């Protein structure tokens, strides 16, 4: 058993890479499966209309023009 990554042999490095790859795939799979499955992919545009112009002063009061 190798206790240091510097003195590890080739098989130990390969084991570390394989474990990291399996863990990454598991996390990605969990993230994909945790999504809400909504089959409604249509998007609607929302229009935001401007209201009356106003100025905010340093005193904290609003002045409507």
**2-24: average pLDDT:** 87
The two beta strands, 62-64 and 54-56, are antiparallel
Q: What is the mean pLDDT of the chain?
A: 79
Q: Let me know: does 12 contact 2? Beta carbons within 8 Å.
A: yes
pLDDT digits (tens, 9 = 90+) for 24-51: 999 999 988 887 666 666 667 788 888 8
The pLDDT of residue 37 is: 63
Give the separation between CA 61 and CA 22, rounded to whole angstroms. Answer: 58
Residues shown for the chain:
65
Q: Domain limits of the chain?
A: 1-38
The pLDDT of residue 36 is: 64
Its pTM stands at 0.49
């Amino acid at each position: 058993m190798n206790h240091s990554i510097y003195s590890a042999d080739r098989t130990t490095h390969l084991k570390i890479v394989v474990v990291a790859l399996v863990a990454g795939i598991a996390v990605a799979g969990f993230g994909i499966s945790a999504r809400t499955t909504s089959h409604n992919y249509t998007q609607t545009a929302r229009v935001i209309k401007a209201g009356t112009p106003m100025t905010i002063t340093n005193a904290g009061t609003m002045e409507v023009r």
